[in-house]
Amino acid sequence: MTPEVLTILMFGVLIAAIALGHPLAATLAGTAVLIGLIDNGFNIPGLFDLITNNNWGIFLNYTLVSIPLFIFMAQVLDRAKVSEALFEALYIILGGLKGGLGLAVIVVSTVFAATTGIVGASVVAMSLMAGPALLKRGYDRPLSAGIITSSGTLGILIPPSIMLVVYAGLTGLKETSVGNLFAAAILPGLLLSGLYLSYVAIRCAINPKLGPPIPREERTATVGQKFFMFIKSLVPPFGLILAVMGTILAGVATPTEAAALGAFGAMVLALFKGTFTWEMISGASIATARTTCMVMALFIGGKVFSVVFLSMGGGDVVADTLLGMDFHPFVILFLMNLVVFILGMFIDWAAILLVVVPIFTPIAMELDFNPLWFAMILCVNLQTSFLTPPFGYSLFYFKGAAPPEFTIGDVYKGILPFIALQMICVATMVLFPELVTYLPSIFFGK
C-alpha cells in the first residue's frame, strides 16, 4: 500500500477504536502494530526492533521523573485542603462585589492551578466548595458552571504543568525544554485568567442578577481582618509556587529536582495545617501511582503510534499535503489548530499531544515558526479539550461533584463564552508572540 492509503487507514482505525470505547494507550499501540505489520509485510522481528529501539529513550529520559513528583505534590495539596482557606478568605473579601464570588473562584483556581497542575482536582474541589455557595447566593447557574469548569482547566497550562513536561519530553528540542515551556506559559496563563475575570466582572456589572453581591449586613469583617485572612491563606501556597518555579527559572535546580522540592514542600504545608496523616500520604501515593502509570502507558502507546506513522512515511504525507497547499503559513497554522480543536472533542489531551506533536512540529519548523511559540499555541488550544462536548472531562468532573440543581444544559450553555475566551487568548498569542517568548528570553536568554 502507498503511504497515503496507510495514513488514511491508520487514522480511520484509530478513530473507530476510540469510538468503540477501547483504552487509549492500547488503541494507539494496537493500531500502530496492525498498520506497521501491513506496511512491512508482516515482518514481526523488524517491527519489534523499531518499536523497542525508539521506546527505550522514554525510560532514559530524566525529565520525566518529575511527572510522579508533580502529581504527588498535587495529590497532597488536594488532600491538605490548601485551597479551602483561600476561598473562604476571598469569599469574604470579594463577596460584596457584583460577581464577587465568581471572581473569587477564578482567583482561587488560578492559585490552585499553579500548585497542582491537575484539572480534575481543581474542578472537583471548586465544585464542592463554590457550587453550593454560588447557588445559595442566587448566581446564574450557567454562568456558575462556566466559571468553575473553565477556571479549573488552568491547571493544565499554568506551571508546574504535567502537559508541559510531556510536551518537552516529546520534542527533545532545546527551545521547548521544560524550563522554557514553564516560563513561556506564565503570561498566557495569567492572560487567560484575566480574560475570565474581565468577562465575569463585565457581565455582572451589566446584569447584577447574574451575580448578586453578598448583603451588606453579612459583611462584618474589618479591613484589617480581611487583609490578615488573605495573607494567611495565600502565603503558604504562593511560597510553594515560588520555591518550585523560582528554582527552575533561576537555573538553581532541574525540573525534576524542583518537583522533588515541591513534593516535600506540600508535605510540610500539610503538616502545618494538621492534615498530615498516614491515611493522607497513603492515599496520595496510591493515586500518584495510578495516574503516573496511566500517563506513562499513554506515553508509550503514543510513541509506538508516532514511530510507526513516521517510519511508513505518514509524516511526509501530512507535511506535503499542508505545505503543498500553497497557503499562507498562518492559514496552515489555523488548519493544524483546527485539527487539535476537533480532536479535543473526542480524546484526551495526552493522546492528542502524542499523536500531533511529532507530526506538526517538523511542519512548524519548516514554516520558520518559533518552536516555543508554536508549542504554547497548541497547549492553550488543548485547554479547550476539557470543555468541548461531547467528551469534555471538566464537564463530567463538575456534573459529578456539583449540586444536582446544575443540569447538563446549564453546563453546556455556560461553557460556550469561556471556549470563545480561550480562542481569543490563542489569537492574542498569534498577534503578539512576545507574550510567549518574553519571559524565556529574560530567564534563559534568546
Report pLDDT digits (tens) over 85-108: 777 777 777 777 888 889 988 988
Q: Is the pLDDT of residue 42 over 80?
A: yes
Give residue-wise pLDDT tens across range 378-406: 999 988 888 887 667 788 778 877 888 88
Percent of the chain with pLDDT over 90: 23
Residue with more model confidence, 421 or 55: 421
Query: Stretch 141-152: mean pLDDT, rounded?
Result: 92
CA dihedral (7, 11, 17, 23) in degrees, to 10, reads 100
Give residue-wise pLDDT tens across range 408-417: 888 889 999 9
88 within 8 A of 125, measured Cβ to Cβ: no
Residue 3: asked if its preceding bond is cis (omega within 30°), the reply is no
- How many CB atoms neighbour CB 278 within 10 A? 7
193 within 8 A of 106, measured Cβ to Cβ: yes
Burial class (CB in 10 A: 0-12, 13-18, 19+), 101: buried
The confidence score (pLDDT) of residue 425 equals 95
Range in 16-25, 48-57, 216-225, 241-250 with the lowest mean pLDDT: 216-225
Rounded to 5 degrees, φ, ψ at 375 are -60, -45
Distance in Å from the first CA to the final CA of the chain: 45
Q: Mean pLDDT for the chain?
A: 84
Burial class (CB in 10 A: 0-12, 13-18, 19+), 144: buried
C-alpha cell at 57: 529513550
Q: Is the pLDDT of residue 147 over 90?
A: yes
Residue with more model confidence, 254 or 381: 381
Nearest to 266 by CA among 279, 286, 281: 281
The confidence score (pLDDT) of residue 380 equals 92
Query: Stretch 361-385: mean pLDDT, rounded?
Result: 91
Q: Is the pLDDT of residue 446 over 70?
A: no
The confidence score (pLDDT) of residue 200 equals 94
pTM: 0.82
Q: Is the pLDDT of residue 220 over 70?
A: no
- pLDDT-derived band of residue 17, with 50, 70 and 90 as boundaries? confident
DSSP 8-state code for residue 396: H
Radius of gyration in angstroms for the set of CA atoms belonging to the chain, rounded to a whole number: 22
Number of residues written out for the chain: 446
What count of Cα atoms within 13 Å lies in the side-chain half-sphere of residue 64? 18
Query: Stretch 142-166: mean pLDDT, rounded?
Result: 88
Give residue-wise pLDDT tens across range 270-327: 888 888 888 889 998 998 888 788 778 877 887 888 888 888 888 778 878 877 777 8
Residue 348, CA distances (Å) to 83, 151, 298, 332, 420 in order: 26, 18, 10, 23, 20
Query: Stretch 427-440: mean pLDDT, rounded?
Result: 94
- The distance from CA 286 to its chain's CA centroid, rounded to whole angstroms, is 22
DSSP 8-state code for residue 207: -
The confidence score (pLDDT) of residue 185 equals 93
